[in-house]
Structure formats: C-alpha cells, structure tokens
Structure 1
Amino acid sequence: MKKMLFLLMMLVFVMSCGKGGGSSKTFTLNLSDEPKSVDPQLSTDVLGGTVDELITEGLTKKGKDGTFVPGLAEKWDKSADGLKWTFHLRDGIKWSNGDPITAQDFKNGWLRALKPETASEYAYMLYAIKNAENYNKKKGSAEQVGIKVIDDKTLEVTLEAPVPYFDSLVAFKTYAPLNQKFFSETGDKYFTEADKTISSGAYTMESWTHGSEIVFKKNPNYWDNNNVAVENIVYKIIPDNNSALNAFNNKEVDVTAITSEQAKEFKDNPKMVSKNDGSVWYLLFNFNNKTLANLKVRKALLMAIDREGLVKNVLNGYGTAAKTFVPKGIGIKGLNDKDFTEGVPTSILAYNPQEAKKLLEEGLKETGQAKFPNISMLLNESGNNKVIAEYIQEQLRKNLGIEIALEAMTAQERFSRMSQKNFDLVFAGWSGDYPDAITYLDLFESTGGNNHGSYKNPQYDALVKTVRSTADQNARIPALVQIEKIIAEDVPVGVLFHREKQYLVDKKVNGIGFTPIGGEFYFGSLSLK
C-alpha cells in the first residue's frame, strides 16, 4: 500500500511539473501574437525581436538597465577618429549545430541584410558602415562595403562617419551572424520553422506551432551556458486579453501583459508590474490617400482627439499624452546629460475641436471634396488597442462629424498591410532600437524601410543625414530638435501618447527585466524559484 501511495504521489508530481508554467525548469511567457518574421535580417516587430532575443546573439548584447555588454565579441577597440572599429570574437564560440562562429559569419549576415534582393526593411540600420547605403541602393558593390574579415576571430568595420553608439548598434538583430552553409540548405524556409532555425544565442528553438506556441531549450553550445539558469522557455501565443489573464490565473503562463482595464483589479497586487516601455503611439497616415496627404486634414484629425482624456479615461492614467515624438528616457550628451525631450521647444498640436473643425473644412475644400470620404483604421486586436481605437473613432465623430471604420486584425496581418501600403489609417506604435534619439526620429525618412506612410520631406531627409554623418553633438542636437519640429508642424503622423505597459509576473519568477530600448524584455538574469 505504501508503495502504491508513493507511486501515485510521484505521478501527481510529474503531471504537475509538465503543465505549462508549472514546471520548476520551464518559464512561460505570453507573446500575445504570432511574429511577422523571426528571420534576424527581416524581422522588424517587437514580437519577432522577443524570439530573436533567445536564439540570436550579436557581437554585443543587451545588458541590464539599458546598457550594452560583450556578446560573441569579448572586446573591441576603435581608432582615434572613431571611423574604424575592430571586434575580437571569443575563443571557441559555436553555432547550435556545433559549427564554429567566425568573423565571416558576421560579414555574411550584414551583407545579406544590405543585399537589395533581400528587401530588408531594416537595411538602413547598417548605413553607418562605409558604402553600405550605396550597396543597398544598387550604387555600389558588396566588395566596397567597409566590412573586413582579418581572421576567424577578428572583424574590422569602417564607418562613413563616427558613431559613438556603434557598439550598441551591433547588438541589434539585423546585425546577427549568418551560417552560410545552413542558410543555403534551408533556402527560402530559413527561420520559418523550428527545424529551419540555427542558434547563436542562449536557447535553441525546439518546436513552433504557428498561432499557438514556440518552445525553446537551453543551448548546450552557447558560450555562457553555465550562467543560463532556466532550462526551457515557452512562448504561448494568446491574443485575447481575457484568455491571457485566465492563463495566468491558472498558472499556464508565468508572465503576461494585461490591459489598463484589467490592471484595476491588480492595482495593489505585488504581481503587477507597470513599466514605461519606450514606445510612442500615433495615427499613421497613408500619404497616397489624397485626403490624408492634405496638411490641414491631418492637423484636424489630430487636434480633434483629446490625448489627455485618452490617457486618463481610457488608459486609467498609465502613460503620458505626448508632447514630442521621442519619449522620455533618452539622455543625450550636450544637454548636460538631460533627457532629450527637455531640450525640445516645440510641442505636438494641442486638443482644439473648434480649430480642428475649421481646418477640416479648409482641407477638404483644398482637395476638392464636398465631404470627408469613407476611410478605415487598422489596429491589432490584442491589448488596449480596441478601446483606444474606439475612443479615437468616437472623438472624430463627436468633434468633426466624420465616421471611420475600424479593422481589427492580428499583428502579422497589420504589418503585412502596412508593408504593402494597403491602408488609410493605422493605429501604430514604435519602440527605440538603440539609445539615441535618431532611432525614433529617422522613422519617416523618405527611403527608409519603415516609412510605411510614404511621407516625403527633403528637409527631413537632409536633417537625418546630418545626424548620421557626424558625432559632433553641436551639429547633431540642433538637427534632432529640428526633426521634432517638423513632426510637430508637418504632422507625418498624429502623435498621441507614450505608453506605460502593465504585466503580471508569477512570484516564482526572478530577474526578468522590462526594457524600453532594444526590445521588450531582458532575460539575462532570469531564474525560477
């Protein structure tokens, strides 16, 4: 009888350990939606970046509190003029299949991102490298790009102009290495399924059930494997807010984002964490739509939305009505290390329904239209997006007498529609990729891969070029401030608010970080009780 009781207890123990977040060796996170792509050279969304965070590592990697630390490179140095950077790779680093990771792998990945046929939307992230932009725009060859393999462990990079933050830039996913043999074997299936991925990071992708979950396992070939505390990570894909909350309450996930409405229930609960996630949210206008291409119409739509009311009444005070495009938290040398936003004298247009109505009438007259046309707004179906979109819809109806239709969809579908420029309006957001204001302010450069609204302004483009072409803050800061002024006055997008995001974290989880720059999470110190 005792033996039977013991076996029964063991069976219950094993079954409880195998259930979702219940395992002491498994951490489970709600990813909320299927990523558009996890291919490091093609991925542009935060969701894809959260996957790449586990299975790819660059020369440097994200550290705690927004810092960047050595990754596959153990050290680096730069020339006195800041134009030449030399990265020294660690001894014995390997891909998950056992192949050595070499300097050539980095050159492979970077040139693939720049290759015009790849059509990487983030190719411009590598334009700091000499002749990279020329190659990407078919004005030069791959051989002219300033990437030189000295030997298997040494990579030399020549820049167009000094970039003080280049060591943090190379931590970004587009700068990930590429195993040429594996890439050639997988072809157009590269990074589309679990068995078509290869890891340079702390974990390997073991399985991927599209639309449901992605399972990761600790990578035995990772150079810092001994300091990876969690054996398995599971990303559940649960877009529905109520289902995600139920999954957390049922201990099927250990961490999930929640809506501002759900956060009311957990206001004084230690399980809830609220963080400024470094994102700015806005109305994205399609400039191919003649109505929205009119400045007075764009101003009218923005000025008809009470942003303070949106934050207070819809987001329950979580977040800030935006006065600048760049959110708080981006310090900059030359402003006495103050926050960049403190040095910007201009401000996003204020709520003014009366002026908005007048501008709309004038704008429609200029476009030769008797009334506002039927248009729609795309939005993700997860998180706070639906209630925010409904608030915007009601504000425009009440203050301007216009109706806009809402099209809710998956994040993947929204990204696809944006890339195809198949939309009128989008409720969209942007998070910074590295700790410099230009990671936000270059978004609307006319030739940029993420300029989905097709905004074109030669002055804007010239200012972005100025910022990228010098390390002199006396030249950079005025240019950055001027870009903010253009966004406020020319309204390439209708800037709404800077987000504060709420999460529920199970008490067994230690060391997870929530980062505003370079991705949503920091897993470097993750452990389980």
Structure 2
Amino acid sequence: MVNRSRKVLFGGLALVVALVVSGCNANAGPTESTSEGTATAMESVPTGGTLHYLSRRANESWETANAQMVPTSRLRWVHRGLTSWQTFPDKETILTPDLATDTGTTDDGGQTWTFTLKDDLLFSDGTPITAEDVKYGVERSFAPMFQGGLGYHKTLLVGAEDYEGPYDGEELDSIEVVDDQTIVFHLNRPFGNWPWIVSMPAFAPVPAAADTEPETYGEHPVASGPYMVTEYTKGSQAVLERNPHWDQKTDDVRLAGPDKIIVDMGLNNDTIVQRLIDDKGDDKDAISNALISPSQFQRIESDPSISDRLANGPSGYFRYIALNMKSPELADVRVRQALNFALNKAELQSVYGGPKFGGEISSTIMTPGMPGYEEFNLYDGGDKGDVDKAKKLLAEAGVTDLTLSLTYPADASAIEEKEALSIKNSLAKAGITVELNGLDSDTWYELISSGGDGYDLTTSGWGADFPSGMSTIQPLFASSEIGNGGGNASNYSNPDVDAAIDAAISEPDLDKAGEMWAAIDKQIMEDAPIVPILVQRTQALAGSNIVNYFIPAYPPFANELVVGIDE
C-alpha cells in the first residue's frame, strides 16, 4: 500500500491516508484473465522455493495478543484463527471457517456464539489444538503488557472490563470451554459481526504450557499455521519453515506454496522498492510491505516488465472532509449540501495521482468491496462540482460571505498541503473563503477527537478493520464516538441514526446487516456531515517469479497467504 502518512487514528486500521495508487493485477499471466483485465485468484500455486519478504518494519513479530494485522497477512503464515478471510481480485471478500467447522452459530440473536473445532488439528510441536488453547490465546490479549491491537472483543465479552489476563491465574468466564472442541463466547449485547471478530489475531490458539516468557513469545511461537519460526534475530531476520503437523485438508485459506520464507526486517522503504524494480537474484522471489513513491511509479509505469508485476487494488481507504456540526456556520444543512456540490473532486483526484493512481471519486461512506455497498450520489455536481447549485443553496440558507477554517495535519506529508490548497481554491469559486490551519499531527488529532469546536472543516481518511459497514459507519458517525479520542470528527449526532446503527450491529444475518448499513449510509448523507472525496487505491510490487499476487477490493493489501513461486 502506498500511504505516505501512516498515523493511526482513534483505533484499528483507521488511517490518515495520503497517496494510494492503482493499476492491474500483478503477474496475471498464470491466472485466468477476463476481457477487462482482472485476474481470478488461483486455486493452487507451485510448491517449492524460498519466499523472501522485505520488510520496512524495524521488527516483525508473530505475537498475536497485540497485533493489528488483518487475517490475510504474514502473521497468518504461523497462526490460524477460528475464522478467516478468502479474498479475490474480482469479487467481495468472504468469511470462511479456519480452525472452526463453520463461522459460528447463535441461538439468541447474536449475544452468545458457539464454535466447534475441526478434528485432528495439531500444533507444530505435535500436541492437539483445543478450545482451551483458543480461550487462553484470547485471555492473554487482556494482559497489561500487550497494549494495542484489534480489541473489539475487549468491550464485548461479559466481564472483560475488569479482566487483566491469565498470568495471575484468573480466567475470563465469558469464554466458556465446553469440551476440547467446543468454545462459547458470551457477549454483553447482540453483535452480528462476531464471526468477523474471531478472525482477528487475538483468537489464534496459544498453548499455556509454551507461554513461559510472554514478552518474547512472538519470536518463537508454537505454530498452528503452515509455517513455524525456526530462526529469529530481533530487528534483523526471521526464517520460517514448514510445520510438519499442518494439514492442507483442514485449511481453505492458505496455499502454502513456498518451502521456506525468509523475512528481512528494518530495510529502507525506497531501497526495497528499488530492489523490486531491479528484480535481481533472490529479489525475483520477493514481496514486501514497502510504499511506492510517485517518482518510482513513473519508472514502473514506463516499463511493462515492471508494471506487469504491480498488484493494484480496485478499492481502499476512504478519504473525506469532515464538517463540524458544532460550527454555527455549518448548522444549516443547505450549507453542508452546498459544500458537497461545490467541491471539485476531480482536482483533488489529480492531487492524489489521478484516476489511475489516486483512486475513484466517491459520494458514499461505504466503499466498494463492503457487503451491502450501494453506489449513490445525493449531491451530484459532476466530478468538477456544480458551483451554481452550491451558490443557490447558500442563497436559500441566507448565507453570504461564508468563511470557514480548514484544519489538517500539516506535518503528515506534502500531499496534505496540496489537498488543503485544492479545497480552498475549489470552494472559493462558490464564494466560500477557506482559511487554512495546518497543525502538527498530535495537536490536530487532539483537536478533532476532542468533541468540541475550534475548527469548521478537517480532512481525514479511514480504513475499515473488517468488511462490514459497521467498521466505518459506527466509529465515524455514532454519537458515542464524539470526543474522548473517538473518530466522529464531524461531531455528528442523530438519534435515529444511532438507533439504526445499534440495530445493524445486532443483526446476526450478515446479508441483512449489509442492506441495513447501506440504508444508514444514505440516511447519514442526507444530513451531509461530510464531503466524500475518494476511495483511494493501493499498489504493491512483487518479484518476477511471484504468482497469485493481487490486492482485492478489501482489504487494501495483497493476500500474503496465497502467493507462490514459479521459477
């Protein structure tokens, strides 16, 4: 993913996203291509070879208790969860059983969830994987030493608010082990997305007997996935080799093509990209998490031998302008609607790299790839905006000489400055004066998450933690998320929307829930608390021997579990 500003907002994978780019799927040759050029995910990949992972992270770890990594990431080479995700270049990501036999059952509308483990599951040391191991893995994520991570379960499990992990001998009673293969989760409210939650890192099984040194467990964990860590030098390199007790017949989400994986840590970002561009030696068998700069894209695009190796996402992070509902100047909905009509989104798209590199112009909150997503545009002024319509709405509201402040993180990246200036110039054509207020990221974050005034407009970006409208709509628009570090930068509060959000969260039928989230999307946009800008795209480069490397509509990352090496 190309993302110059990686500041995490509020929680989860919410990001201020600066530059994300797009194109065609990498190495589409070995896959079945359609007439439109999209590739179909391969059902199998060649077996053998050594995969090289070039990481810009100072340290890679296989600790699950505080990880934020999605279920298609390298963390899942080593660990499995109760459920996981199957991704495709050309259709929605789907939830699928992993260690469990199904994606969970509930008999009380989503407040109690039961999962049964598959038969004959073994850890890398040959011991059986049991429900008790899953329970312990979740419990250790509550320990104070493991701060951060994807923590939805910490607010949903009964009694979790006072629990501090298993290291003092205490258990969390709301995680009930019925027998070796059956585990039951008791939640404090109905929650239809729980099957997605149990795909997250903390739900990987951990045998308590092996957790004698929790601080370093992530360096040599007991593996449930197809690979185990056999060598580990912190901040330098890890070597993963096949887990002899992993059985492909029990695993529908990992292809496990390479015989070995070598992870090199702490590499310079631009150096990684240049190595992949040059495509020499072991780098032909490499993938990475490096971010590609605009200057590097020019080189990549000009050479088909490089551009053919570029994985490109059709969808990604949501970029928008939050309109502070506590600002007197924005109290009239017609003013907020005028801003939606006035904005020249095509110019902003150019700031981010144009349709090919920057992303698709957006008019909704939910993004393509999310279940239930519906395309609509309540304020269709065309890509360049409708200045006359905006002026008419301002006149109807009795507003003249409107001046608004635009606050943004000025130290995030140069593109934030260009974005702000573009917005200023765009709105000026509708007679709206915009005063720019660039702040350092920490001050900006404190301001917009405080729940108060002090700004009229702010730019922001968001990435959902799991494929559900809940993972975007609830954190950005629920009244409960105003202030106290919450993500509701618009300070938007609508009791009817809050009730609709609560109903959609509780709905255990995920197809029905998707329809409910789509309806809430329209309900919110009728109040116009934001101006959607773009659905940003993501790109990643791979070596020439890598096959089945693609970025789905969601998540905006390549699926690292399904790649192979074709030499």
Query: If the length of structure 2 is used for normalisation, what is the TM-score?
Result: 0.64
- Tell me the amino acid that sits aligned with residue 325 of structure 1: I
- 2 CA distance for matches of 1:144 and 1:414? 38
Q: Secondary structure at the match of 1:402?
A: strand
What aligned pairs does 1:497-512 form with structure 2 within 5 A after superposition? 497-512=534-549
Question: How much has 1:475 moved relative to structure 2?
Answer: 7.1
- 1:27 matched residue in structure 2: 52
Which protein has the bigger helix share?
A: 1
Q: Secondary structure at the match of 2:538?
A: strand
What aligned pairs does 1:266-281 form with structure 2 within 5 A after superposition? 266-267=300-301, 268=304, 269-281=307-319
- 1 CA distance for matches of 2:323 and 2:557? 26
- 1 CA distance for matches of 2:237 and 2:448? 25
- Tell me the amino acid that sits aligned with residue 27 of structure 1: H
- 1 CA distance for matches of 2:394 and 2:237? 47
Which protein has the bigger strand share?
A: 1
Match 2:370 to one of 330, 350, 371: 330
Question: How much has 1:345 moved relative to structure 2?
Answer: 6.5
Note closer, same or farther for the CA distance 1:75–1:151 as it changes in structure 2 (3 Å cut): same
Give yes or no for the alignment of 1:248 onto 2:276. Answer: yes
Whether the 8 Å contact between 2:316 and 2:555 is mirrored in structure 1 is no
Question: How much has 1:224 moved relative to structure 2?
Answer: 3.5
- 1:72 matched residue in structure 2: 99
Give yes or no for the alignment of 1:59 onto 2:82. Answer: yes
Question: How much has 1:310 moved relative to structure 2?
Answer: 2.4
Question: How much has 1:466 moved relative to structure 2?
Answer: 0.2
Note closer, same or farther for the CA distance 1:328–1:77 as it changes in structure 2 (3 Å cut): closer
- Tell me the amino acid that sits aligned with residue 405 of structure 1: G
- 1:108 matched residue in structure 2: 136
Question: How much has 1:24 moved relative to structure 2?
Answer: 4.9
- 2 CA distance for matches of 1:122 and 1:286? 28
Q: Secondary structure at the match of 2:435?
A: coil
Match 2:181 to one of 149, 153, 157: 153
Note closer, same or farther for the CA distance 1:474–1:201 as it changes in structure 2 (3 Å cut): closer
Give yes or no for the alignment of 1:123 onto 2:145. Answer: no
Give yes or no for the alignment of 1:201 onto 2:225. Answer: yes
Give yes or no for the alignment of 1:527 onto 2:564. Answer: yes
- 2 CA distance for matches of 1:418 and 1:111? 33
What aligned pairs does 1:260-339 form with structure 2 within 5 A after superposition? 262-267=296-301, 268=304, 269-283=307-321, 305-312=343-350, 314-318=352-356, 319-332=359-372
- 1:185 matched residue in structure 2: 213
- 1 CA distance for matches of 2:149 and 2:199? 17
What aligned pairs does 1:477-496 form with structure 2 within 5 A after superposition? 479-490=516-527, 494-496=531-533
Question: How much has 1:312 moved relative to structure 2?
Answer: 4.4
Note closer, same or farther for the CA distance 1:496–1:125 as it changes in structure 2 (3 Å cut): farther
Whether the 8 Å contact between 1:89 and 1:103 is mirrored in structure 2 is no
Question: How much has 1:471 moved relative to structure 2?
Answer: 3.9
- 2 CA distance for matches of 1:419 and 1:45? 24
When the two chains are superposed, the root-mean-square deviation of aligned CA atoms in Å is 5.1
- Tell me the amino acid that sits aligned with residue 234 of structure 1: V
- After TM superposition, the structure 1 stretch with the greater mean CA deviation from structure 2, 293-302 or 255-264, is 293-302
Whether the 8 Å contact between 1:321 and 1:496 is mirrored in structure 2 is yes
- 1 CA distance for matches of 2:98 and 2:243? 16
Question: How much has 1:87 moved relative to structure 2?
Answer: 1.4
Give yes or no for the alignment of 1:234 onto 2:259. Answer: no
Note closer, same or farther for the CA distance 1:491–1:377 as it changes in structure 2 (3 Å cut): farther
Whether the 8 Å contact between 1:76 and 1:85 is mirrored in structure 2 is no
Question: How much has 1:320 moved relative to structure 2?
Answer: 0.8
- 2 CA distance for matches of 1:152 and 1:197? 21
Question: How much has 1:134 moved relative to structure 2?
Answer: 5.0
- 1:12 matched residue in structure 2: none
Question: How much has 1:172 moved relative to structure 2?
Answer: 2.5
Question: How much has 1:462 moved relative to structure 2?
Answer: 2.2
Q: Secondary structure at the match of 2:537?
A: strand
- 2 CA distance for matches of 1:276 and 1:223? 33
- Tell me the amino acid that sits aligned with residue 367 of structure 2: P
- 1:220 matched residue in structure 2: 243
Give yes or no for the alignment of 1:437 onto 2:469. Answer: yes
% same residue? 17
Instruction: Name which structure has the greater RCO, CA cutoff 8 Å, separation 6+.
Output: 2
- 2 CA distance for matches of 1:116 and 1:133? 17
What aligned pairs does 1:381-400 form with structure 2 within 5 A after superposition? 386-387=414-415, 389-396=417-424, 399=428, 400=433
Give yes or no for the alignment of 1:465 onto 2:502. Answer: yes
- 2 CA distance for matches of 1:299 and 1:38? 47
Give yes or no for the alignment of 1:377 onto 2:427. Answer: no
Whether the 8 Å contact between 2:405 and 2:434 is mirrored in structure 1 is no
How many residues in Structure 1 have an aligned counterpart in Structure 2?
471
- Tell me the amino acid that sits aligned with residue 377 of structure 1: P
Question: How much has 1:485 moved relative to structure 2?
Answer: 3.1
Question: How much has 1:393 moved relative to structure 2?
Answer: 3.2
The Cα offsets for residues 486-524 of structure 1, whole Å up to 9 and x where unpaired, read as 542455554321122233222200223423335622233
Whether the 8 Å contact between 1:467 and 1:476 is mirrored in structure 2 is yes
Whether the 8 Å contact between 1:326 and 1:440 is mirrored in structure 2 is yes
Question: How much has 1:315 moved relative to structure 2?
Answer: 2.0
- 2:26 matched residue in structure 1: none
- 1 CA distance for matches of 2:450 and 2:388? 35
Query: If the length of structure 1 is used for normalisation, what is the TM-score?
Result: 0.68
- 2 CA distance for matches of 1:489 and 1:379? 33
Whether the 8 Å contact between 1:62 and 1:518 is mirrored in structure 2 is no
Question: How much has 1:430 moved relative to structure 2?
Answer: 0.7
Whether the 8 Å contact between 1:29 and 1:254 is mirrored in structure 2 is yes
Question: How much has 1:45 moved relative to structure 2?
Answer: 6.1
Question: How much has 1:440 moved relative to structure 2?
Answer: 2.8
Whether the 8 Å contact between 1:88 and 1:154 is mirrored in structure 2 is yes
Question: How much has 1:120 moved relative to structure 2?
Answer: 5.5
- Tell me the amino acid that sits aligned with residue 281 of structure 1: R
- 1:91 matched residue in structure 2: 120
Give yes or no for the alignment of 1:404 onto 2:404. Answer: no
Give ranges in structure 1 of 5+ residues lacking alignment.
1-22, 333-339
- After TM superposition, the structure 1 stretch with the greater mean CA deviation from structure 2, 295-304 or 496-505, is 295-304
Q: Secondary structure at the match of 2:346?
A: helix
Whether the 8 Å contact between 2:96 and 2:102 is mirrored in structure 1 is no
Question: How much has 1:324 moved relative to structure 2?
Answer: 0.7
Whether the 8 Å contact between 2:465 and 2:471 is mirrored in structure 1 is yes
- 2:20 matched residue in structure 1: none
Question: How much has 1:190 moved relative to structure 2?
Answer: 5.8
- Tell me the amino acid that sits aligned with residue 258 of structure 1: I
- 2 CA distance for matches of 1:362 and 1:190? 64
Q: Secondary structure at the match of 2:363?
A: coil
Note closer, same or farther for the CA distance 1:401–1:278 as it changes in structure 2 (3 Å cut): closer
Give ranges in structure 2 of 5+ residues lacking alignment.
1-47, 250-254
- 1 CA distance for matches of 2:271 and 2:395? 44
Question: How much has 1:75 moved relative to structure 2?
Answer: 5.2
Whether the 8 Å contact between 2:53 and 2:287 is mirrored in structure 1 is yes
